[in-house]
Amino acid sequence: MIPLVLALMACKPTATPSDTSSPPDDTDTEPTVEVDSDGDGFVAWWAAEEPSVADCDDADAAVTPATEVYVPAGPFFRGGGENEDTFPMREIELHDYCIDRLEVTNRQLVELLTERAQRGLNNVTDDGQTIYDFDDVDDHVPERIQLAEDGSFVVLDGYDDHPAVEVYHWSALTYCADRGKSLPTEAEWEKAARGDQDQRMFPWGDEIPDCAQANMRPTWEGEGANTVEACVDDTVPVGSYPSGVSPYGALDMAGNVAEWVADWYQPHYYETSSDVDPDGPDQGWDGYPADQPSQARISRGGNFATGYAAIEVSTRYVEPDWASSNGLGFRCARVLVRPD
């Protein structure tokens, strides 16, 4: 059973009108906007007094703070750390948005693959690109999604709730778009992981993690790093590390699997980016990969085989958008629009 953030057990607020008396003139009455229209007991994000119980989609009872967490508008500190591509650290202002509380799982990806196959799009995006990499056999981790004899998609026993991996950047874009969402920008991902109160290194603060807080390799990167035994050396079910929760209630933003974000990668982007809602450069870095320039994307959060430095909230990893990996998955974000 996936543990929930303690805040979810708090009472669910409802909006109380400040004046219940009838207005003297009906022509001056503004229409009442329902703040729990789906009846799930959680107040719409724009009316909730506490972000921890905000409903990110008040028209869908399946969306609750257990599935998506609300990140209020405002500033946070982006960057820092020891890498040149994360400087300068400075304050960035973001709109409000929601982000998946957990990484997308194998079960959820199979649901999407099945839906698309029924529409004639068998494991491909709308423009024909492969969604799940069934042919990646260059590592010790077998593909967790498999093809049954009847052509259907099935998850290997015991891996339903593990994060989906072996997906490309366009795979993540397709999944999120089909669910009415988007990949988070790099800035959105970092704020959701770090919070807005300090310049912390990890989602939980500055405490160096052990295997109780994240699924990773408990060492800094560098000489001899790969000789240190990993906590698990494989993925684990999403939400397995409640003590590694971010300030907004998101889980697994350090370790388990790294996560695609929307942006192209440029090593010096932070020097010139906007301070308000930055959405990344116009194209990828020409320096990587060398044989296919301008295809450089970004992953965040590190995975089960990486050390402390990789799972810091500021660390940026360069990934070619045509690559897949047994340690690379994603989560989605939701654009929010206030009611008129």
Domain ranges for the chain, please list them: 36-66, 75-331
Distance, CA of 254 to CA of 246 (rounded, Å): 9
- pLDDT tens for each residue of 55-96: 999 999 999 999 999 999 999 999 998 899 999 999 999 999
- Contact present, 127 and 177 (Cβ < 8 Å): no
For the stretch 51-60, contacts whose Cβ atoms lie closer than 8 Å and that sit 24 or more positions apart, written own/partner, are 51/248, 52/5, 52/7, 52/8, 52/10, 52/248, 52/249, 53/7, 53/8, 53/10, 53/12, 53/13, 56/98, 56/334, 56/336, 57/98, 57/334, 58/34
- At 125, phi and psi to the nearest 5? -75, 180
Q: What is the pTM of this model?
A: 0.88
pLDDT of residue 13: 40
Burial 153-166 (b: 16+ CB within 10 A, else e): bebeeebebbbbbb
Q: Which of 99-108, 126-135, 224-233 has the lowest mean pLDDT?
A: 224-233
Segment holding 76, helix H or strand E: strand 74-78
- Average pLDDT, whole number, for the chain? 89
Composition of the chain by helix, strand, coil, percent to 5: 15, 15, 65
What CATH number does the domain located at 75-331 have?
3.90.1580.10
328 three-class SS = strand
- pLDDT tens for each residue of 194-249: 999 999 999 999 999 999 999 999 987 666 666 678 999 999 999 999 999 999 99
- Contact present, 298 and 317 (Cβ < 8 Å): yes
Q: What's the DSSP call for residue 261?
A: E
pLDDT of residue 141: 74
